[in-house]
Amino acid sequence: MIRTFFTTSALAFVLAGTAQAQTVLDVVAWKGNEAEPAGLPELIEKFEAANPDIDVELTYVARKDVDKVIPPRLQSGNPPDVTMVDSSLVELWGGAGFLKDLSTESDWYGNMIPAVQNVMTTDGKIMVFPLEVIGMGNFVNMDLLAQAGIDKAPVTIDELTAACQALSAEGIAPMIFAGTFPAMLFVGANGIDPANNTSAKFGMGEMSFVEDANFNASLDGVRDLVAAECFDPELQAGLDPWATAPQEFKSGNVAILPQGAWNIGGFSSVDGLNYQFAPMPSSFTEYGLALDLVGPGWAIPTEAANAEAARKWVDFFAEEENLNVFLEAEGAYSPFMGGKATMPDLATPYTEAREKGSLILWPFSTLEFPKPLQSEWEDSITGFLLDIDQPNETTLQRWDDTIEDNL
């Protein structure tokens, strides 16, 4: 009896000691919920198995709520141990001194894609471990294209206009070109020359959109698409790009949809939807232009209570096999050089364009274009679609004014 008592007490003591030694790693992210698991449940399990003294407590906070939830915690000295950030949050929180420098001496830093490394490094500091770059281009319904006698996703302007004419002749709606996001992708892909990317100069007001031949030609290119019957501009102007447009593509009502690769999971779950993800046709390249959006990453707040465990979490993602789980679930590319391809075969046209170097980093995700310009692009391009005959200057001047206003 006494022996049982002592044994039980000793066991309880040991267990209590173990529990006390357990570190609870507080991780906040806008991925990892049921709708967008991003491989995190699997990765957390693996991380905890590799680090038995750490319990990961993942809190899902929607991106739009992060701005409300995290700043009070950062300012009150009670931040999460690790938080998901994007480039604008790195600039804001890092600039205010709330994020740790993860050090340019880190093993993974030197392996970053140079363009990503360049935009993520501020004053010699790297305050984020980037997780992904996400492609943006055209989703192409190959069955609808086949009905028009085309077997290849269009990657040049000529191929796109030819496809539009053929689809239109068959009575198939060729393209979604909603005035906001989808139209922006085309205008950006035809206004930014990948061989001489001057986005930062536009953002700093050193170059003018009105005087730029490329952006003028880009708007002219939209008129060419209208002439090729790709879409009815007035009909597209008010189309919702996030709900209605993807639904139309999923329903097989339209052949081409400019959108982001984050839709791959949703589209692939639709039975019978045979599609490819292709780069945006651009006058600058015969391969189509891959528009890479620099996605989120992990950051460690300066006052993180468990900084050492947080560092282990970041380093865990720096291992290629772990990061690949995340990338495969996300339908995204690695921000690091080399490594195993994680994108599905349906994204081959996009991947090929990237491999040929026909890509740009989307300037709104690298902050080369300031945030206010994005809403002005959306508004002004919608206005342009509503009055396609207006001079280019009317649209482009609004962009210049926004830049000037933001300086």
Partner 1 sequence: MRARNSLYIFTIPALAVLTLFFIHPIILTADMSFTSFKGIGAAEPVGWKNYDRIVSRDRYLDAIWITLWYTVIVVTALTITGMFFAAVLHRLPAIRNFSRAALYTPAMMSFVVVGYIWQFLYSPLNGGINVALRDLGLGAWEQNWLGNPDLALYSVAFTQIWMFTGFTCAIFLAGFAGIPEEIGEAGKLEGATSWQRFRYLELPLLGPSITVSVILTTIGTLKTFELPFILTNGGPDGATRMLSIEIINNLFGQYKFGFASALSIVMLIIVLAVSFIQNKVLRDRENVT
> Site residues (CB under 8 A) for partner 1?
64, 67-68, 71, 74-75, 88, 92-93, 95-98, 173, 179-180, 234-240, 243-244, 247-248, 253-254, 371-372, 374-375, 378-380, 382-383, 386
Shortest approach of partner 1 to residue 63 CB, angstroms?
A: 10
Choose between 38 and 385: whose C-beta lies nearer to partner 1.
Answer: 385
Shortest approach of partner 1 to residue 51 CB, angstroms?
A: 31
Shortest approach of partner 1 to residue 308 CB, angstroms?
A: 25
Choose between 134 and 173: whose C-beta lies nearer to partner 1.
Answer: 173
Residue with tokens 């994020």: 99
Shortest approach of partner 1 to residue 375 CB, angstroms?
A: 6
Residue with tokens 């319990």: 55
Instruction: Determine the Cα–Cα distance for residues 31 and 12; give it in Å rounded to an integer.
Output: 37
Cβ neighbours around 217 below 10 Å, total: 14
Instruction: Determine the Cα–Cα distance for residues 191 and 199; give it in Å rounded to an integer.
Output: 10
Per-position DSSP letters for 79-143, written without gaps between them: --SEEEE-HHHIIIIIHTT-B----TTSTTGGGB-HHHHHHHEETTEE--EE--EEEEEEEEEHH
Cβ neighbours around 226 below 10 Å, total: 18
Shortest approach of partner 1 to residue 62 CB, angstroms?
A: 11
Choose between 149 and 238: whose C-beta lies nearer to partner 1.
Answer: 238
Choose between 144 and 359: whose C-beta lies nearer to partner 1.
Answer: 144
Shortest approach of partner 1 to residue 317 CB, angstroms?
A: 25
Instruction: Determine the Cα–Cα distance for residues 26 and 128; give it in Å rounded to an integer.
Output: 17
Among 231, 235, 269, 234, CA closest to 250: 269
Chain-centroid distance of CA 331 in Å reads 10
Choose between 93 and 317: whose C-beta lies nearer to partner 1.
Answer: 93
Choose between 8 and 75: whose C-beta lies nearer to partner 1.
Answer: 75
